[in-house]
Structure 1
Amino acid sequence: MEVVAVRRGAVRSVVVAGSLVLGLAGLACGARASAGEALGPRGARGAGVARDAWAGPEADVAYHGRVWLSEGRLRVWLVPANDGPSALANATVRVRLSADLAGRQELAEGCARIGTREVVCETGPLPRHGRGRHIGLALELRERPDEVSVRVDTWWNGGASDRNRANNELVVLALDTGDSYVF
């Protein structure tokens, strides 16, 4: 698995073995929940499930925006938001497509291509109950499909927990009409 951290003006990527990350996370949860007991928020025994035992900041990242598809060109405009309760210094949004990107892409500052169908962008600071920077992508597709599904989700959120993942994992179907599809 490739993990990409995007910073303003610079892009770094680090290759991390997925099994190592999952294995360490499993060990940490197993050590805290002895004898099969589930831990709730802040380590309270017997309430919730082990994944709620994360003792980091809590944020509620969401994305709103528009998608247009016309003649092999896909435009994505989105605004990340944080409904709180904690502010985030930065996060990374991932945009995945059902169609291949063309060979060369000119991406906005703070964005990087991470595959044949994926782009990640930094959100910038997300104040609690506030919005991040507007992100605009003008993507060229390898072919001219009749439709493209666009998946938008959080790639990295600075270690914060997010109990409402429904508003930051979105799928939009864009038809090749030039019409704007809102999410």
Structure 2
Amino acid sequence: MEVVAVRRGAVRSVVMTGLLVLLGGAGSAGSAVGAVGAVGVDAPGSARAWAGPEADVAYHGRVALAHGRLRVLLVPENEGPSPLVNATVRLRLSAELADRQELAEGCARAGLREVVCETGELPLHGRGRHIGLVLELKERAPEVVVRVDTWWNGGATDRNPTNNEHVVLALDTGDTYAF
């Protein structure tokens, strides 16, 4: 797969996620991993309890499909109890994306059918940046299923994942579907 459009902010989130996966969520890799709240080590061989924040990330938005072009407007929110410095939302489609995409700042292609975007700061009981995308499909489809979820949340605990996991069916009619 050729990645055509990559934005600096989304890459930062992807790199942090990769570091956490490589480390298995434990240990220390300098200040980068420590900044997102990875499990710390007090003494050789003894791990202390998880020190990450708790946040309730939610996504609201709408999608519309017309003539092989999917329009997405997404607004991330945080109901708390802690603010988040950043998170990454993932959009997975049931149809392949065209090879070349013009993506919004902070967004990157993550696969043949996936795009990830950083949310920006999510203050307590506040919203992140509005994310607007126009995604070109490889081939025109009569319908597209769009799955929205959190790909990375800075190591926060989210006890209510139902408001940040959405599945939306968009028909190629130009109609707008809200979630």
2:75 is the alignment partner of 1:79: yes
Q: Deviations over 1:54-79 (max 9, x none)?
A: 43110000000000000100001000
Q: Give 3-state SS (helix, strand or coil) of 1:11's partner.
A: helix
Structure 1 runs of 4+ aligned residues shifted over 2 Å read: 10-22
Q: Percent identity over the alignment?
A: 74
What are the ranges of 5 or more consecutive residues in structure 1 without an aligned counterpart? 1-5, 29-42, 44-52
Question: Partner of 2:141 in structure 1?
Answer: 145
Q: Deviations over 1:144-166 (max 9, x none)?
A: 11100000000110111000000
Q: Deviations over 1:17-44 (max 9, x none)?
A: 968738x69xx8xxxxxxxxxxxxxx9x
> CA-atom RMSD, angstroms?
2.3
- Higher RCO, Cα 8 Å, sep 6+: 2
Q: Give 3-state SS (helix, strand or coil) of 1:89's partner.
A: coil
Q: Quick one: which amino acid aligns to residue 163 of structure 1?
A: R
Provide the aligned length of Structure 1 versus Structure 2.
151
- In structure 2, how many angstroms separate the alpha carbons of the residues matched to 1:58 and 1:134? 22
Change (3 A) 1:137 1:21: same
How high is the TM-score relative to the length of structure 1?
Answer: 0.75
2:93 is the alignment partner of 1:93: no
Q: Give 3-state SS (helix, strand or coil) of 2:80's partner.
A: coil
- In structure 2, how many angstroms separate the alpha carbons of the residues matched to 1:18 and 1:132? 25
What are the ranges of 5 or more consecutive residues in structure 2 without an aligned counterpart? 1-6, 28-38, 40-47
Question: Partner of 2:54 in structure 1?
Answer: 58
Question: Partner of 1:166 in structure 2?
Answer: 162
Indicate conservation of the 8 Å contact 1:68/1:75, yes or no: yes
How far is 1:7 from its partner? 5.0
Q: Quick one: which amino acid aligns to residue 24 of structure 2?
A: V
Q: Which has the higher Rg, Structure 1 or Structure 2?
A: 1
Indicate conservation of the 8 Å contact 1:62/1:82, yes or no: yes
Q: Please give the residue correspondences for 1:25-64 in structure 2 after superposition, counting only pairs within 5 Å.
A: 54-64=50-60
- In structure 1, how many angstroms separate the alpha carbons of the residues matched to 2:8 and 2:162? 26
Q: Give 3-state SS (helix, strand or coil) of 1:119's partner.
A: strand
Question: Partner of 1:156 in structure 2?
Answer: 152
Change (3 A) 1:58 1:138: same
